[in-house]
Every structure is written in C-alpha cells, then in structure tokens.
Structure 1
Amino acid sequence: MISFEHIKDRLRGISIAPVITPFNESGSIDFGTLEHLIDWQIKSGSHAISVTGTSGEPSSLTIEERVQVMETAMNVIDGRVPFLPGTGSTNHDETMFLTMKAHEIGADAAMVIVPYYNKPNQGALYKHYKTVADSVDLPIIVYNIPGRTAVNLEVETLAKLSKDCPNIIGVKESNKDFEHVNRVLLHCGRDFLLYSGIELLCYPMLAIGGAGSISATANVVPAKVAELHNAWNEGNLKRAQDLHFELMPLNDVLFKDTNPAPAKAALGIMGKINPTLRMPMDVPSKELQEEIKNVLKDYVDLKNSVANN
C-alpha cells in the first residue's frame, strides 16, 4: 500500500491559490494570461496552486478545456510548488476521467467537489468518492461546499471515507458551520488535512489544527494570504491575527456577488486580466465594481499594478 505521508507534510500550513480561468473577450480561454497568473502566484509566495475549482468556473468549461487548463498549469508550475487541480463534476464518469488525467499528468493531489445539483444521499456520496479514490494512486482532497452543491458531506461519511480510502487525505471545507469543521478533525484524526474555503475562517481553522486555506482572495493579494500562513508557521500569532483582520474588508467585498465575478473584476482593475466570465455568469454591477476598486486601493498600488501588466 502506497504511503501518502510525504505529500501530507508538503501540503500542511499552506496557502493554496485557486486560480481563476481567464477568458478573452470572445469567451475563449486566454492561456497566455493563465500562464502569467500562475507564475505571478508562485513568485508572490503562494505555497501551492489549484485550477478548475470554483474560482476557475469549471462548470462553464468543456472537459477538453479542463484538461488543457490542468496541463497548462502543470507545465508552468514545473515542480516549483504542489499542484492540486479540481477534478470533480456533477457527472461521476467525468470526475473519474479528470481525476485519472490529473494522476497521468503528475499532479500532487486532486480536489474533488461534492457533486452539485444531483443532491446525492450520504450513501451515494460514499460510493462516489470511494470509487474515485480506488481508481487512482493519487491523494484526494474532498471539497465540501454545501452552499453550491445543495448537500453537505456529513462528518460521519467523511470519517468513513478517510478510514476506508488511504488516499483521501484531506478536505476543503467551504462550510460556515465551525462546529462541523471541528468535528472533522475529531473524527477523521488530527493529521487529516483540513483546509478553509471560507475566508473569515482561514485563521480560526489554523488555530484548531487546520492545514491551511484555499481562498479566492489569494487570486488578488497572494502575498498577503501566504504571509498569514507564514506568520502562523513561524509562531508569530500577533502578525497572523493582524493579517486576518487586515484582509477582512477585501474578503467581504469579494463575496458581495458570486465568486469569481468580484475576484475577476479586481484582477481586471489591477490590469492583470480581461474580467470576462462565461454566461450564465456575468460581471458585477458598476456600483460593486466601484466599491471593489475603492477597497483595493488599501491593498494594491493600482497605478503601478496597471502600468506593470
């Protein structure tokens, strides 16, 4: 049986940046900008990279496009940091295919979302994840985001999966129920990798033994989000707390509309992307765009940012 302890050590105490998928005005994927964004993330201090998660608009991409995005990311990363692409879908066979493709291209782990729209029961979720996990010798990070999927992966189901599937090594909890996430570590074990997908819980989850965060805000200020984790790892709790509160206004404004629309708007204001989304998503209102710009001024030198991109 393969041991996954080595990768668990690499994936603890880190900021994993869930990179957006940039589009041209025509709606085609802007692969050149994607390469630039990933390189910028790594140079800014992000400890790992994910693509085609919620921030990457996977439900708006074809399966072929998702593979192209994963392959592009893998080539740009070139082993500099761990790579954890999102491979989940509402379709079981697609999830199987994308997870096996992630293994084939050499990803460090796969992030597999709870199937959305279908609302499977807990027994069905167990069967889905076990089948996927059994198909690859690749670490799996379960992605629980009940606000998007309309079903919550219960702690008991996750605990059974963690015991029955050695390669299910962690979970991204985009779950505002802090009692739930505490019970994840109680029942799955303190060495289980627990990541926050809720921006205001990134610091609190570290305090209970969490492994880090996968925060959409890292798309906009990767250095700040990574620094919070660096400060925590160095035992500088005051600095980590300060960064937690410093980031709150930006976290708040980036979730006044559906992710990743505000993050893309922010990156557009910074001159890094064309903030196009594929329908049925669309850009935030002009009022919210102006609010995003005003908040950004406290975090980014917009004049230099635009000039340098």
Structure 2
Amino acid sequence: MTRDYSEIKSKLRGSVTPVITPFKSNHDIDYEKLAQLIEFQLENGTHGISVTGTSGEPSSLTVEEREQVMEKAIQTINGRVPFVPGTGSTNHQETMRLTKKAEELGADAAMVIVPYYNKPNQQALYKHFKTVADAVDIPIIIYNIPGRTAQNLHVDTLAQLSNDCPNIIGVKESNKDFEHVNRVLLKCGRDFLLFSGIELLCYPMLTIGGVGSVCATANIEPRKVAQLHDAWFAGDVETAQNLHYELMELNDVLFKDTNPAPVKAALGMMGKIEPVLRLPMDLPSETLQKEIRQTLDKYGIGLQHV
C-alpha cells in the first residue's frame, strides 16, 4: 500500500532556510552555535529548516559529521517546523546511508542533490534517485543545481521519477533556465513541490506555482525572506513584490563569491558565528568583506564593531 504524502506536502511551504554549518576556530563543528542559528531562524518566522545542503559545506564534512549535524538540528527544532536535511553525495552508498539516517531520525523529507563531479547521464541519474527512493519511505525532494554539479536533471527524467516513485514529491531548482522550471510543473503536475534555490527567482517561482524557496540569504535576513512568502500566500502581491526588490541588493552581495563564504562572513560580522570555513573553501577577499559589511549596515542588520 502506497503511503499518503499529502499531509507533509501541505506543510512544506515557504522559506526553508539552508542553515550553514558553524565551525570553531579549530575547525571543529560548533554544535552550540548550530542550535543558536536554528533558534534565530525560528524566532524570525522561518517556515522550515535544512542542514548539510550546499550552504552547510557537506563536501567538507565526514559522513559521521553530517549525521551528527542532522541529529542536533532535529533535536533543536523539536517538531516546530518541517526539517528537510540534505542527504545527497557524489557517492551513491553515502547518499543511501544519509537518507536512511534522515528517515531514522524522523526528518519530514530528505533533499537529495544531483551527484556532483561524476556527471552521470540521464539513465544513471534515474537509477540513482530511484534506488534511493525505493530504499526509504521518507519523502524525497531532488536538488537540481547544474552550476555546481555540471549536469542538469532533465525535465523528462524528473517526470519519470515523480511518476515511478510516489515518495519523490518535489524538486529544488537552482536553475537559471526559467523555461526548464516552468516545464517541471507542466510535466510533473501542478501538485509537485517546486522550490527555488536561486534568490532572485524566489518570487518568480511562486508566481508560476512554486511553493517556496531554500535560499542562503535567509541565513542573514530570515524575517524578510519569510515575510515575502507569507505575503504571497496571503494574496498580498504588492508586498511580496516589494520585498523581492528590497532583498535584491543583499542577495547580490552574498553571491559575489562562492556560497557559503559571503554568508559566513556576514554571520561573523553579526556576531552569530566564528567566520570559519574548511579548506578548500575560505572567506571572501577583504574588499568583498567591506562591501558585505556596508550592505548589512544599509539593511539595518546589527553588526559587531571591530
């Protein structure tokens, strides 16, 4: 008997923040800061939490660390909002292990990225995602980000997966091809969950039938990102549009270097974390950090003075 996923599909809406993984100065994971970051999100109206996605530097974490981050996150959230950890990897067996762990922990869904570096063809991508989906009962949201993975999950492949795997319920599209994004809902059905993974497309994706976003800017300005979605779902188009444009300058500066480096620099300026990344990632240039600080100040975001 096929499980009914309608209840969780109705809950997965709005701003699902991809929380960064905070490190101490010695590069160990700072689990206390992780809990504080999640509380900061929930206090500001965020509708859901994700960890160990792109913003969480998953390729810089061991599998065991990813499991521990998921455990800390779900304990902190304690059922207050949906939890959708990133469980994908370039390694199929790691993806299987992490997705099963998310199910074991009681996550509401798992976000599984198109494998990066390998560049599998469409048949291989179908087999990869179907094997993962068939091995668990947890809902799956596929994460398509061609700029990071060097491979685009075709709409027809996604549609076949959504048809063949009842627990594949949605997709996070970090895809600048807006024609592709439109065809996702045409081919997969209007009840398929479409999330934006590109900040400037959060609002446009809502207008074509998307249900929300999973965007790094929400780490810095969670309230306004959540309010944009709240306004749209309340039918207040003008407010949603205004917030879309109001957030644009912040979105732009946070992506002038590879995510999550600018976001971590900004959170450091806000006194939320030690601004530390693990190599091969590192902080942005001093010039960009100055621009980030100026932008945060312009937005009235509280900064620590150094």
TM-score range, shorter chain: over 0.9
2:4 corresponding residue in structure 1: 3
CA distance in 2, matches of 1:37, 1:203: 25
CA distance in 2, matches of 1:282, 1:123: 36
Unaligned runs of 5+ in 2: none
CA distance in 2, matches of 1:262, 1:32: 21
Match status 1:49 vs 2:49: yes
CA contact (8 A) 1:140 1:168 kept: yes
1:298 Cα deviation from its structure 2 partner: 2.2
CA contact (8 A) 1:137 1:167 kept: yes
CA distance in 2, matches of 1:146, 1:249: 24
- Aligned residue for 1:271, secondary structure, equals coil
- Aligned residue for 1:172, secondary structure, equals strand
Match status 1:136 vs 2:136: yes
CA distance in 2, matches of 1:298, 1:200: 19
Match status 1:123 vs 2:94: no
- Aligned residue for 1:302, secondary structure, equals coil
Unaligned runs of 5+ in 1: none
1:206 Cα deviation from its structure 2 partner: 0.3
CA contact (8 A) 1:171 1:195 kept: yes
Write out per-residue CA displacement over residues 152-203 of structure 1, whole angstroms, 9 at most, x where no aligned residue. 0000000000000000000000000000000000000000000000110000
2:271 corresponding residue in structure 1: 271
Write out per-residue CA displacement over residues 73-101 of structure 1, whole angstroms, 9 at most, x where no aligned residue. 00000000000000000000000000000
Letter in 2 for 1:39: E
Question: What number of residue pairs does the alignment pair up?
Answer: 304
Match status 1:97 vs 2:97: yes
- Aligned residue for 1:297, secondary structure, equals helix
Match status 1:63 vs 2:63: yes
1:237 corresponding residue in structure 2: 237
2:208 corresponding residue in structure 1: 208
CA distance in 2, matches of 1:95, 1:229: 30
CA distance in 2, matches of 1:300, 1:178: 32
CA distance in 2, matches of 1:128, 1:204: 30
Write out per-residue CA displacement over residues 89-114 of structure 1, whole angstroms, 9 at most, x where no aligned residue. 00000000000000000000000000
TM-score for the superposition, normalised by structure 2: 0.98
CA distance in 1, matches of 2:33, 2:60: 18
- Aligned residue for 1:243, secondary structure, equals helix
Letter in 2 for 1:45: G
1:107 corresponding residue in structure 2: 107
1:302 Cα deviation from its structure 2 partner: 2.2
CA distance in 2, matches of 1:297, 1:167: 43
1:26 corresponding residue in structure 2: 26
CA contact (8 A) 1:221 1:299 kept: no
CA distance in 2, matches of 1:147, 1:300: 32
With 156-165 and 290-299 compared, the bigger mean Cα shift is at: 290-299
Moved over 6 A (4+): none
1:297 Cα deviation from its structure 2 partner: 1.1
